[in-house]
Amino acid sequence: MHLLVVEDEDTIAEPLVEGLVAEGFEVTRVATGQAALDAPAADLVLLDVRLPDIDGFAVCRELRARSDVPIIMVTAKGEEIDRVVGLELGADDYVVKPFGLRELVARIRAVTRRTSARPEAHDTFVVGGLEVDVPARRGTIDGRELHLTLKEFDLLALLASEPGVVVERQRILREVWDTTWYGSSKTVDVHVAALRKKLGDPTLIETVRGVGLRLRA
């Protein structure tokens, strides 16, 4: 598995790369946002938010526009807004500095599992004017193409697979994010807000307070 590590601080990057290589990963390290955008395609990107040229958010946005490559953002301790913005832009997970190698490897493996195990490849869900084509990873509403991030698509596919049924938040975290690490489930709210905006009708996804979400049948 080939990782692209985007980190400008040598004191962090060098032992990190060494540790990841020891875990069996192939690693390319770059120190700037532009170098990250110019680098060959990788299987996963570990992306620092604070970079000397282009900030990590802009890099994340550009990478997500190009592909569904898994992205783990690296943020400073306590900067929750960085994590929320990164998730909105399509990042798959985040780690907070300082972090341990074991935690990072666990997150890499979790992200890899969920991005390689998508919803059933033969399913296409049609709910009113909404169509979610899982094999093509394509969503349309009333014939209009929906430009969805990887997470937004997976969330929509899960809800569309059971229209009218309340899907609990813990199940959403487990099946879409393959984790329950974000205890407040705020990341779900971030992605739901983005989905509602893209769908053009905020009432299509209903919030059942204290329980979960439901796609209006």
Domain boundary among 92, 116, 140: 116
Classify 117 as helix, strand or coil.
coil
| Better-predicted residue by pLDDT, 90 or 42 | 42
Where does the chain show beta strands of DSSP type E? Answer: 2-6, 26-30, 44-48, 71-75, 93-96, 124-127, 130-133, 138-141, 144-146, 167-168, 205-208, 212-215
* Domain CATH for 198: 1.10.10.10
**Residue 98, preceding peptide bond in cis (omega within 30° of 0):** yes
Query: Do 89 and 160 belong to one domain?
Result: no
- Mark whether 132 and 60 lie in a shared domain: no
Q: How confident is the model at residue 201 (pLDDT cuts 50, 70, 90)?
A: very high
Domain containing residue 9: CATH number: 3.40.50.2300
Mean pLDDT value of segment 42-47: 94
Report whether pLDDT(205) > 80: yes
Q: Are residues 6 and 84 in the same domain?
A: yes
Give yes or no for residue 180 having a pLDDT over 60.
no
d(CA 147, CA 181): 27
Domain boundary among 84, 116, 148: 116
pTM assigned to the model: 0.59
Dihedral of CA atoms 13, 86, 145, 161 in degrees, nearest 10, equals 100
Q: Are residues 111 and 15 in the same domain?
A: yes
Does the pLDDT at position 32 exceed 90? Answer: yes
Same domain, 39 and 133: no
State whether 106 and 9 are in the same domain.
yes
Residues 93 and 16 in one domain: yes
Domain stop point among 79, 97, 116: 116
Same-domain status, 11 and 109: yes
Residue 128 and residue 78 share a domain: no
Range of the domain at 186: 124-215
Whether 125 has a pLDDT exceeding 80, the answer reads: yes
Q: Total domain count for the chain? A: 2
Looking at the fold, whether 72 and 149 belong to one and the same domain comes out as: no
Question: Are residues 111 and 184 part of one domain?
Answer: no
pLDDT band at 35 (very low <50, low <70, confident <90, very high): very high
Q: What does the DSSP 8-state code read for residue 40?
A: P
- Give the confidence band of 39 by pLDDT, cuts at 50, 70, 90: very high
pLDDT tens figures, 47-99: 998 899 998 889 998 998 888 889 998 887 556 676 677 777 778 888 888 88
First to last CA, the chain: 41
Q: Give the chain's mean pLDDT.
A: 86
| Interacting residues of 198 by C-beta distance below 8 A, sequence separation 6+ | 146, 147, 148, 152
Which residues on adjacent β-strands are paired with residue 140? 131, 145
Q: What integer pLDDT is reported at residue 183 of this predicted model?
A: 45
**Residue 100: strand, helix, or coil:** coil
Q: Are residues 63 and 165 in the same domain?
A: no
Q: Among all chains, which residue has been given the structure tokens 């349309």?
A: 140
At 115 the pLDDT is 64
